[in-house]
Structure 1
């Protein structure tokens, strides 16, 4: 009986000791990670990790923390060794695969990163973070085709993740690079003696890493009964540039000495990605002619809906007796790239973004306007973008009197 009592006492003491040791090592690990993430004292963290390994050599969390501490002190080989050690001991340790892959990506070692993450995906094929790490590793190889193929695979696998679609569109846009284009819009009227109007634009677009810069030459000719009554040209410079991974800006500057265009035209908009396919816009428009100046605000939002994109934009006048609001809505359905799409649009009122009628903005802004339209863009032969749009506008040209306007636009761009 006494022997049995001593045996049970031994078991209790042993379990208590082991529990106390577990509590001691857990507390040490928490303290170590705090030193790494909060205090950022990596030398101290290395010493704590080594102490933890000495106390509990099978506690793999200490090896991972030690790898992270070595990484932060730029001791890359040591960091790599400890991450690999953990993977060799326990292939179910997902964090070790992630840390090692990120380390190789940061060292620009695409092959090593892909080798590690492919091993992880064999073990955990449904782990989304592993797929996203593989995408980052593929991007290091500077092989747009392979990256685009994998992005397409991920879009099918995770259709709810609209950021993947954005990345594919942006990548294809970057791949197209520089381009030269020409477009012409002809407007005809149902009023006798008015029109046609012809608006022609030539542009050159330069694609940089985080920006697109576009130079544009515009020529506008308005006719009455077949005779030109007003014409002129304008020079424009505009850019779309990324200010961060989640926002970008648009800036347009135009100048002209001809009455058919504003003397100075300045447009700016800031776009913010809100996640889940949502985007907002806040902007300002300024146009100065020989006799007037006007300011407008632009407010809008966009939403990706599967392969489609919907946008609603509104404009309000500043410094006028009334705000004279106008609204423009657009829906695009994309096919293979940002340049392959079908679009429909509808709107009310006159906006300062309408190039063809901008010189009449002061007269039209206070009048009613109801418009609808549709268009189609297509990349052909992997070298050209062709496009055609048409629109109908029921325009009030003087109070209570209306005219019908039909616009037809044709455009061609050459991908350099």
Structure 2
């Protein structure tokens, strides 16, 4: 893929000329981790759940630490999982919030979906974010999906990504791959994420590893939100890798830890990169 050069933004103006969108693991904001975490479990009576998540990103230069906290509540049952979420971000000496509704409806045995809508009035997030995806299980323990992500910004720019996934279950192992491609820019921009999990005999206890390359906004990466043409947002190179664990504290309390290392191209200095070490913790309680 050919990467288009970005404009040379002055150092003194770069903070105010772009904002950060980082989606944190599970992620609760949108995407890969959230969907993996909700892959259907055996039908159980309806019950309520509540949780909280916190993530921090530390960079080797240019940027100070960036924070994202999430609180959520919802229900889980035979019909699926449904959440209401509230995110608060702190970066560039600014604080912003985002509200989100998220659903994982079960349509039939082996068929389920993902739908999410988020809104924010802060420049630290897109104004609107929409995600839709359909999942289907096949023979030989294979599962596939197709979906779309849409990001709408304050200046009426809209970015659309097509995505999907292919997953293989084998014993206690799960292997999954997910590509992304932008479709409303002059040149398509590709990225991918591959992940693996090992389950400890329980449906929600596991260790995981993942790698990615390109630029996927469903991952924790830096992207321009203001100041640059929309066609340039997804033309930043990045490589990422990490590992995590989710485990039971008690039968009704789950905790998780995820650590990632990302090498991210600077939007205002093409060919120059920063390193981002991120840590994310989560806790979920069955009420």
Higher relative contact order (CA 8 A, sep 6+): 2
Does 1:352 pair with 2:223?
no
Relative to the length of structure 1, the TM-score reads: 0.55
Q: 2-side partners of 1:315 and 1:246: how far apart?
A: 24
Partner of 1:178: 48
> 1:42-92 CA distances to partner (integer Å, 9 max, x unpaired)?
xxxxxxxxxxxxxxxxxxxxxxxxxxxxxxxxxxxxxxxxxxxxxxxxxxx
> 1:334-362 CA distances to partner (integer Å, 9 max, x unpaired)?
11323200000000022132367466595
The counterpart of 1:324, out of the listed 171, 175, 189, is 189
Does 1:334 pair with 2:165?
no
- Return the offset for 1:399: 1.2
* Partner SS for 2:44: helix
Checking the alignment, whether the CA contact within 8 Å between 1:259 and 1:359 is kept in structure 2 is: no
Q: Which has the higher strand share?
A: 2
Partner of 1:209: 78
> 1:264-291 CA distances to partner (integer Å, 9 max, x unpaired)?
1100011111122101110011000102
Checking the alignment, whether the CA contact within 8 Å between 1:285 and 1:352 is kept in structure 2 is: no
The 1:372/1:355 distance shift into structure 2, 3 A limit, reads closer
Relative to the length of structure 2, the TM-score reads: 0.79
Q: Report 1:4-403 matches (<5 A).
A: 170-171=41-42, 174=44, 177-192=47-62, 194-223=63-92, 228=93, 230-291=94-155, 292-354=157-219, 357=222, 360=225, 364-397=233-266, 398-403=269-274
Q: 2-side partners of 1:242 and 1:385: how far apart?
A: 22
Gapped regions of structure 1 (runs ≥ 5):
1-168
- Taking only aligned residues, the RMSD between alpha carbons, in angstroms, comes to 1.9
* Partner SS for 1:260: coil
- Return the offset for 1:306: 1.1
Aligned length, in residue pairs: 241
Q: 2-side partners of 1:396 and 1:298: how far apart?
A: 22
Q: Which has the higher helix share?
A: 1
Gapped regions of structure 2 (runs ≥ 5):
1-39
Partner of 1:411: 282
